[in-house]
């Protein structure tokens, strides 16, 4: 007879199994970022300036995927905040030229792993999909179309205004463009130790925004259109990933601890090319990430393999691992259409 306690995962056991993998290899981070971003921007330049429509389309698709990978490091920036040099380079190569700097993500994600707020109305990375998962998903895709304009307003207009009108900084900006799934949502204030850095990055984003405006005024509006399409493409890829490989989006009144967060999350076990492209830098191991959020992205495949092999067959960890993004989407639909059940491990 199967052991009825085998399904429950002991979080301390999990952490002991992966403890030796927690140190980030900065050489891996830098090499991955530089290769992805520089190749992506070169292909983007060809897509804008090159010859041959077919080749330009292929170059644009490839650049979107590579720069999507580069921007995906924003999640690692939060969990590896000691890597200040990497964060600075990331802003130069991805965060500023895509107008998606760390400051848009930092105040949202800092509440997402909190056992008191995870999956509640206070979690900006969570929303209630129960009963309307399809319409909620369609809304996300539609909003992606307006994202580039919202980003330009955020940095090109609100940033300069906030210098002369403090009320804009205090009341408007926290409620405007940030990387929250839940809308409307008021972002928390950025912690003091990162505030000065964030102001400098915000200023550079404002400069870049007005550079885009200048290109249009000088007649190079096709460059702006290509940039606009690039941001929309990256946002759309991220939405596909989020719907198929992150959470089940059934909001509860109370938060959830590590086990509850794991049960509400997904790992994509299959590592095919589509999964690798849509879930870069370890983002296909979302349930594992909520168990051990300190693990660097390059350690996640080995950590996942260890847990699958060493935890009892049929454990909760095995149950939250699905073979593909499509399976993850099907699980989301099934969960959000079923009656809400209490989640274990809260």
Judge whether 115 lies within some domain: no
Q: Would 291 be classed as within a structural domain?
A: yes
Residue 126 lies in a domain: no
How far is the C-alpha of 174 from the C-alpha of 167, rounded, in Å?
Answer: 11
Domain annotation covers residue 313: yes
Provide the pLDDT for residue 322: 93
Residue 191 binned pLDDT confidence (cut-offs 50, 70, 90): confident
pLDDT band at 267 (very low <50, low <70, confident <90, very high): very high
- Answer yes or no: is pLDDT of 3 > 50: no
Reported as a single tens digit per residue, the pLDDT across 135-179 is 999 999 999 999 999 999 999 999 999 999 999 988 898 888 788
Distance of CA 118 to the CA centre of its chain: 16
- The tokens describing 233, both together, are 């493409």
Residue 344 in this model has a pLDDT that exceeds 70: no
Q: What was the pLDDT predicted at 341?
A: 62
Count of the separate structural domains present in the chain: 1
Question: Does the pLDDT of residue 192 top 90, yes or no?
Answer: no
Would 116 be classed as within a structural domain? no
Between 93 and 194, the more confident residue is: 93
DSSP for 21-86, please give it. Answer: G-S--HHHHHHHHHHHHHHHHHHHHHHHH-S-HHHHHHHHHHHHHHHHHHHTTHHHHHHTTT-HHH
Phi-psi region of 131 (alpha: psi -120 to 50; beta: other; left: phi over 0): left
- For residue 343, what pLDDT band results from cuts at 50, 70 and 90? low
d(CA 242, CA 38): 25
Distance CA 297, CA 25 (A): 10
Handedness of CA 38, 233, 276, 8 (dihedral sign): positive
Report if residue 141 sits inside a domain. Answer: yes
User: Residue 239's domain spans which residues?
Assistant: 13-97+131-249+256-335
Residue 4: inside a domain, yes or no?
no
Per-residue DSSP letter, 247? B
Separation CA 142–CA 277 (nearest Å): 22
Q: For residue range 193-207, list pLDDT tens digits in order.
A: 888 999 999 999 999
Cα 125 from Cα 104, distance rounded (Å): 12
pLDDT (tens digit, 9 = 90+) per residue, 268-317?
987 789 999 999 999 999 999 999 999 999 999 999 999 999 998 888 99
Please indicate, yes or no, if residue 277 is contained in any of the structural domains.
yes
């Amino acid at each position: 007879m199967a052991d009825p306690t085998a399904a429950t995962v002991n979080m301390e056991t999990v952490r002991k199994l992966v403890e030796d993998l927690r140190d980030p290899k900065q050489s891996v981070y830098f090499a991955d970022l530089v290769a992805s971003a520089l190749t992506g921007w070169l292909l983007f330049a060809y897509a804008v300036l090159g010859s041959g429509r077919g080749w330009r389309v292929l170059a644009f698709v490839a650049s979107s995927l590579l720069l999507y990978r580069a921007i995906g490091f924003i999640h690692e920036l939060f969990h590896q905040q000691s890597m200040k040099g990497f964060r600075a380079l990331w802003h130069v190569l991805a965060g500023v030229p895509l107008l998606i700097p760390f400051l848009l993500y930092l105040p949202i994600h800092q509440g997402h792993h909190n056992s008191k707020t995870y999956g509640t109305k206070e979690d900006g990375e969570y929303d209630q999909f129960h009963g309307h998962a399809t319409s909620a998903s369609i809304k996300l895709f539609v909003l992606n179309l307006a994202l580039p304009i919202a980003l330009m307003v955020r940095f090109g207009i609100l940033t300069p205004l906030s210098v002369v009108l403090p009320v804009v900084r205090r009341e408007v900006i926290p409620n405007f463009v940030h990387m929250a799934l839940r809308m409307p949502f008021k972002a928390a204030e950025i912690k003091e130790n990162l505030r000065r850095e964030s102001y400098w990055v915000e200023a550079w984003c404002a400069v870049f925004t007005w550079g885009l405006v200048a290109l249009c005024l000088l007649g190079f509006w096709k460059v702006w259109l290509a940039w606009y399409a690039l941001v929309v493409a990256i946002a759309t890829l991220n939405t596909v990933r989020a719907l198929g490989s992150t959470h089940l989006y059934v909001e509860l009144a109370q938060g959830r601890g590590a086990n509850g967060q794991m049960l509400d999350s997904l790992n994509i076990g299959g590592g095919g090319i589509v999964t690798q492209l849509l879930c870069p830098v370890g983002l296909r191991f979302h349930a594992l990430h909520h168990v051990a959020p300190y693990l660097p992205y390059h350690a996640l495949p080995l950590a996942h393999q260890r847990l699958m092999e060493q935890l009892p067959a049929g454990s909760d960890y095995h149950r939250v691992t699905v073979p593909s993004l499509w399976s993850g989407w099907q699980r989301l639909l099934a969960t959000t259409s079923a009656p809400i059940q209490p989640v274990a491990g809260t």
